[in-house]
Amino acid sequence: MNAVPDIFVDECKSDSARVAVPSAAVHLVARLGPHVLGGFDIHAVGPRHKVHRKWIRGGQRTVLARLPLGAHHAVLGAPVSEFAGRIVALRDLWDTAATQRLEEKLAAASDAGSAVVTLKAAIAERIGPGTCFDTNTRLAQSAARRLESRSVASVAEELGVSERHLRRVFSEVVGLSPKTFAKLMRFERALTAAKDGRDSCWSDIAVSAGYYDQAHLIADFRSIAGATPREFLAEVRRQS
């Protein structure tokens, strides 16, 4: 497994409404700025299957590290069930000394770039090349790659396990059912394609993202974002 997480930086220059796109991953999130108590804080954010809307104060910088699938236990020392749909302070997960070391380094970070380097290093220490993953984690990782383009039944058959076993293991490791995971992956692909303008219309986007048809895409957007694809795309673009 790659020990380097995906890192995202959001710098909010003025008070504004933001939308957080749901994710199947566990994130480690550091917030820095004058409106954050103490100047910064660090939390683990679990898998979410709905869009989250929030108000961000100007001057806040947020660094989000998306942990590799199945790495939450190595990094945070707790099962994914403790994070699903929740936000947990890092100090409630790490020992005091480890938390203080990371907090001191983040406090000394002069900009978002420095904070990114600090957070990457802290995570890499915990999921280095020698990290071992159990059978269930490896099964969930293999299933996740296949679920982006295939049904739960066909993935289970290909991996040589029953659908029931796959669902149980996947929920334990990822914190979501295989069906919900696949739904979020389709949603993410469709939104990315729409933002990038790779396809000319929503029907083309639906096909390329893995939906049955445009009606299927619209239904998923209403379920996940509470809006039509066009409405949600406009909302996301307003915050860019």
Note the pLDDT of residue 6: 87
Provide the phi-psi class of 108: left if phi over 0, else alpha when psi is between -120 and 50, else beta.
alpha
- Above 90 in pLDDT, residue 206? yes
- pLDDT more than 70, % of the chain: 95
Note the pLDDT of residue 140: 92
Higher pLDDT, 190 or 126: 190
Higher pLDDT, 184 or 2: 184
User: Which residue, chain included where needed, has tokens 């942990």?
Assistant: 67
Give the total number of structural domains in the chain.
Answer: 3
Note the pLDDT of residue 1: 47
Q: Is residue 32 part of a domain?
A: yes
pLDDT digits (tens, 9 = 90+) for 72-116: 888 988 888 788 888 999 999 999 999 999 988 888 887 888 888
- Residue 56, both tokens: 């961000």
Mean pLDDT score across all residues of the chain? 88
| d(C-alpha 209, C-alpha 34), whole Å | 40
Note the pLDDT of residue 127: 81
Q: Is residue 112 part of a domain?
A: yes
* Strand 60-66 to 52-56 pairing: unpaired
- Above 90 in pLDDT, residue 3? no
Do 21 and 237 form a contact (C-beta atoms < 8 A)?
no
Same structural domain for residues 20 and 42?
yes
Same structural domain for residues 40 and 90?
yes
| d(C-alpha 183, C-alpha 185), whole Å | 5
Q: Which residues contact 214 (CB under 8 A, 6 or more apart)?
A: 202, 203, 206
Q: What angle do CA 13, 238, 12 make, to 5 degrees?
A: 15
Same structural domain for residues 109 and 214?
no
Same structural domain for residues 166 and 186?
no
Note the pLDDT of residue 43: 93
Do 225 and 191 form a contact (C-beta atoms < 8 A)?
no
CATH at 196: 1.10.10.60
Same structural domain for residues 110 and 13?
yes
Same structural domain for residues 61 and 152?
no
Do 28 and 123 form a contact (C-beta atoms < 8 A)?
yes
Same structural domain for residues 69 and 46?
yes
Same structural domain for residues 22 and 109?
yes
Q: Is residue 20 part of a domain?
A: yes
Same structural domain for residues 115 and 203?
no
Q: Is residue 1 part of a domain?
A: no
Looking at 68-72, 115-119, 197-201, which range is the least confident one? 197-201
Question: Which of 229, 219, 149 minimizes the C-alpha distance to 190?
Answer: 229
Residue 58 domain boundaries: 6-126
Same structural domain for residues 108 and 51?
yes
Higher pLDDT, 57 or 222: 222
Same structural domain for residues 118 and 26?
yes
Same structural domain for residues 155 and 79?
no
Q: Is residue 149 part of a domain?
A: yes
Does this model's pTM top 0.75?
yes
Q: Is residue 203 part of a domain?
A: yes
- Residue 167, both tokens: 């669902």
